[in-house]
C-alpha cells in the first residue's frame, strides 16, 4: 500500500482541488480523503506538492523499430516517466512503419514490458504511400488505438475522405499532420526567418492552414471525427474554430514549443529549434494560447521527436532532421508559459494534459478517483528548474537546455508503482 499525504490533490474531471491524502493499493486508488491513517503503508509526504492524474501524451515518437539509435520504447518510456507521463501514444513513422498487424504486434510486445502505459497508432496508408489504406479493422482488433501518417501529410483528398469514412464506420478517428508539400518550401524553418536570415524558402503558413481547411471540411461532410495534430498558425486556430462552429467533429492539439517560443529560437539554438511544423511568429504563439483558453484546442501533446546529436549537428542546418525531445520539459513549459504567465489556471493546464487527451481515446486514465487507476504525478509547481543536458531519453535535442523553467516532477506513479522519483 502507498499513502500520499498532504498533497494538493487536483482532478480536472471532478474539479477536486483540495489538500488531502490518497491511498493506493493493487494498482487502484482506494481512498481519497482529508486524513487517512493506514498502518504499514509506504508514505509519500506530498506537503507543498501537487498530486495530479498521471500525464497523458498522445503524440510521441519512440523510433522502434528501425531507428533505435535515436530512442527506443524503453528509453522513451523512461523519458515519459521522468516527465510525469503515465500514458503515451506512439506515432507509426518507424522503420518499417506500423502498417500491418505483424509489426504492430512486435511493437506492442515491446511496449508491454514497460512500467507505464505505452500505446500506439497505426498508419493510415500502407508504408506511408499516401494511396492505399491499411486494414483499420484488423489493426484496431490487434490493439492499435487510432490512425495517423504523422510526418508525411496526406496529399490525396480522396484518400483522406476514404480514411475518414472507414474510421467513422469503426467508431474511431484519424489524426492528421497538416503541411501540404505542394505549398511548402524547406521544412522546419518558418517562412519569415527562412527568407530573412537563412535566404531559403521555408515552411509556409498556407501549407498548414489550407490543407487543414480542406480536411476539416471533409470531416464536416463525412461526419467523421478528425484530430488535428500540432497546429501552429493563427489561421489554423480560426479554421478549427470555424469547423467546430459548423458542427464538424474536429479536435486539435498544440505542442508546448508552439505556445512557448517563436522562430527566433533558431538563431540561438540552431537545429534543436528546427521542427515540423516550425516555430512561428509571436502572433501565432499568442493565437494558439487563445485557442487553448477558448477551448478550440483541448489537448497539449509533445510531439516528442528524439534525434541523435550527430544528426542534428550537421554543418548545413537545412539537412538536420526536424524535431525535439519533449517529454521531459512539457509540464515545465506549461507551468512557465501558461500558468505562471497567467494564461491558464493550473487546473486548466492539467485538464489539457490528462483528462482531455485520455477522453479523446477513451483511455481509462487522466483522472483521480476512488476505484480509478493509480496513475499519479506528484510535482512542485513553483520551484525553479534549470534545464541541463541530462535526459532520461537517449536524445538531448532540446532547445530549452540552459533555460530556467518552472516546476519539477517529484514522483511518477503508474499502476500503483513508483516509476520515477526525483
What is the smallest separation between the CB atom of 103 and Zn ion, expressed in angstroms?
Answer: 20
Of 117 and 175, nearer to Zn ion (C-beta) is 175
To the question of whether residue 307 is assigned a binding role by annotation, the answer is yes
344 alpha-carbon distance from chain centroid: 18
Q: Segment near Zn ion (CB under 5 A), from 107-115, 116-124, 150-158, 203-211?
A: 150-158
Helix (H) or strand (E) holding 254: strand 249-254
What is the smallest separation between the CB atom of 29 and Zn ion, expressed in angstroms?
Answer: 34
- Is 388 labeled as catalytic in the residue annotation? no
Using the rule CB under 5 A, which residue among 5, 61, 177, 410 binds Zn ion? 177
Q: Segment near Zn ion (CB under 5 A), from 108-116, 170-178, 330-338, 368-376?
A: 170-178
Please state, in angstroms and as integers, the Cα–Cα distance from residue 103 to each residue in 95, 154, 186, following that order: 10, 22, 31
The reply on whether position 119 binds Zn ion by CB under 5 A is no
Q: Segment near Zn ion (CB under 5 A), from 169-177, 178-186, 245-253, 349-357?
A: 169-177
Total number of residues that touch Zn ion (CB under 5 A): 2
Helix (H) or strand (E) holding 238: helix 234-246
Of 190 and 377, nearer to Zn ion (C-beta) is 190
To the question of whether residue 371 is assigned a binding role by annotation, the answer is no
- The sign one gets for the Cα dihedral 237, 238, 244, 249 is negative
Binding mask 53-92 for Zn ion (x = CB under 5 A): ----------------------------------------
- The sign one gets for the Cα dihedral 239, 241, 244, 246 is negative
Of 59 and 410, nearer to Zn ion (C-beta) is 59
Q: Given 72, 303, 375, 380, which residue is catalytic?
A: 303
Q: Smallest Cα–Cα separation from 298: which of 372, 348, 371?
A: 348
Please state, in angstroms and as integers, the Cα–Cα distance from residue 72 to each residue in 68, 87, 118, 278, 360, following that order: 5, 16, 12, 25, 25
To the question of whether residue 61 is assigned a binding role by annotation, the answer is yes
To the question of whether residue 258 is assigned a binding role by annotation, the answer is no
Q: Segment near Zn ion (CB under 5 A), from 95-103, 142-150, 292-300, 342-350?
A: 142-150
The reply on whether position 150 binds Zn ion by CB under 5 A is yes
To the question of whether residue 85 is assigned a binding role by annotation, the answer is no
Q: Rounded to an integer, what distance in angstroms lies between the CA atom of residue 298 and that of residue 294?
A: 9
Of 177 and 352, nearer to Zn ion (C-beta) is 177
Q: Rounded to an integer, what distance in angstroms lies between the CA atom of residue 324 and that of residue 47?
A: 33
Q: Is 231 helix (H, G, I), strand (E, B) or coil?
A: coil
To the question of whether residue 230 is assigned a binding role by annotation, the answer is yes
Q: Rounded to an integer, what distance in angstroms lies between the CA atom of residue 3 and that of residue 96?
A: 44
Buried b (16+ CB within 10 A) or exposed e, 279-301: bbbeebbebbbebbeeebbbbbb
To the question of whether residue 303 is assigned a binding role by annotation, the answer is yes
The reply on whether position 280 binds Zn ion by CB under 5 A is no
Of 93 and 103, nearer to Zn ion (C-beta) is 93
Comparing every residue's Cβ against Zn ion, the nearest one is: 177
Strand 174-176 vs strand 376-386: parallel, antiparallel, or unpaired?
unpaired
Q: Which residues pair with 177 in a beta bridge?
A: none
Question: At a CB cut-off of 8 Å and minimum separation 6, what does 162 contact?
Answer: 133
Of 58 and 368, nearer to Zn ion (C-beta) is 58
- The sign one gets for the Cα dihedral 72, 410, 398, 11 is positive
Q: Rounded to an integer, what distance in angstroms lies between the CA atom of residue 88 and that of residue 86?
A: 7
Of 11 and 253, nearer to Zn ion (C-beta) is 253
To the question of whether residue 74 is assigned a binding role by annotation, the answer is no
Q: Segment near Zn ion (CB under 5 A), from 143-151, 245-253, 279-287, 360-368?
A: 143-151
Please state, in angstroms and as integers, the Cα–Cα distance from residue 19 to each residue in 6, 16, 183, 343, 408, following that order: 6, 10, 52, 24, 19
To the question of whether residue 190 is assigned a binding role by annotation, the answer is no
- In the block, cell 495530479 appears at 52
Residue numbers in the known binding site for Zn(2+) are 59, 61, 150, 177, 230, 303
Residue numbers in the known binding site are 59, 61-63, 93, 150, 177, 230, 276, 303, 307
Residues that bind Zn ion (CB under 5 A): 150, 177
Residue numbers in the known binding site for substrate are 61-63, 93, 276, 307
What positions carry a catalytic annotation? 303
Amino acid at each position: 500500500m502507498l499513502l500520499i499525504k498532504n498533497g494538493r490533490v487536483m482532478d480536472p474531471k471532478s474539479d477536486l482541488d483540495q489538500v488531502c491524502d490518497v491511498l493506493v493499493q493493487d494498482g487502484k486508488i482506494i481512498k481519497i480523503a482529508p486524513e487517512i491513517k493506514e498502518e504499514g503503508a509506504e508514505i509519500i509526504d506530498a506537503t507543498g506538492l501537487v498530486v495530479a492524474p498521471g500525464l497523458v501524451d498522445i503524440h510521441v515518437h519512440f523510433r522502434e523499430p528501425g531507428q533505435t539509435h535515436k530512442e527506443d520504447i524503453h528509453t522513451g518510456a523512461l523519458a515519459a516517466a521522468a516527465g510525469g507521463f503515465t500514458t503515451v501514444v506512439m506515432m507509426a513513422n518507424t522503420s518499417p512503419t506500423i502498417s500491418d498487424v505483424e509489426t504492430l504486434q512486435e511493437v506492442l510486445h515491446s511496449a508491454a514490458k514497460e512500467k507505464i502505459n505505452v500505446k500506439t497508432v497505426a498508419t493510415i496508408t500502407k508504408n506511408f504511400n499516401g494511396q492505399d489504406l491499411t486494414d483499420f479493422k484488423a489493426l484496431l482488433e490487434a490493439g492499435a488505438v487510432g490512425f495517423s501518417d504523422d510526418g508525411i501529410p496526406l496529399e490525396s483528398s480522396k484518400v483522406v475522405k476514404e480514411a475518414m469514412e472507414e474510421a467513422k464506420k469503426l467508431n474511431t478517428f484519424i489524426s492528421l499532420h497538416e503541411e501540404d508539400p505542394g505549398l511548402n518550401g524547406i521544412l522546419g524553418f518558418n517562412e519569415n526567418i527562412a527568407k530573412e536570415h537563412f535566404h531559403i524558402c521555408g515552411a509556409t503558413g498556407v501549407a498548414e492552414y489550407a490543407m487543414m481547411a480542406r480536411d476539416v471540411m471533409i470531416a464536416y461532410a463525412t461526419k467523421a471525427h478528425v484530430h488535428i495534430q500540432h497546429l501552429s498558425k493563427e489561421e489554423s486556430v480560426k479554421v478549427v474554430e470555424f469547423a467546430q462552429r459548423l458542427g464538424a467533429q474536429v479536435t486539435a492539439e498544440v505542442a508546448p514549443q508552439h505556445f512557448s517560443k517563436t522562430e527566433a529560437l533558431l538563431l540561438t539554438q540552431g537545429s534543436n529549434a528546427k521542427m515540423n511544423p516550425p516555430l512561428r511568429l509571436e502572433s501565432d504563439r499568442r493565437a494558439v494560447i487563445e485557442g487553448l483558453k477558448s477551448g478550440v484546442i483541448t489537448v497539449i501533446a509533445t510531439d516528442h521527436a528524439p534525434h541523435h546529436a550527430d544528426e542534428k549537428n550537421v554543418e548545413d542546418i537545412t539537412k538536420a532532421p526536424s524535431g525535439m525531445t519533449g517529454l521531459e520539459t512539457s509540464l515545465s513549459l506549461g507551468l512557465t508559459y501558461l500558468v505562471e504567465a497567467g494564461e491558464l489556471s493550473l487546473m486548466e493546464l492539467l485538464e489539457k494534459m490528462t483528462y482531455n487527451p485520455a477522453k479523446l481515446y477513451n483511455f481509462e486514465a487522466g483522472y483521480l478517483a476512488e476505484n480509478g487507476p493509480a496513475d499519479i504525478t506528484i510535482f512542485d509547481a513553483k520551484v525553479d528548474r534549470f534545464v541541463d543536458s541530462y535526459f532520461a531519453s537517449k536524445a538531448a535535442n532540446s532547445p530549452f537546455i540552459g533555460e530556467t523553467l518552472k516546476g519539477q516532477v517529484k514522483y511518477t506513479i503508474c499502476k500503483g508503482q513508483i516509476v520515477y522519483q526525483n
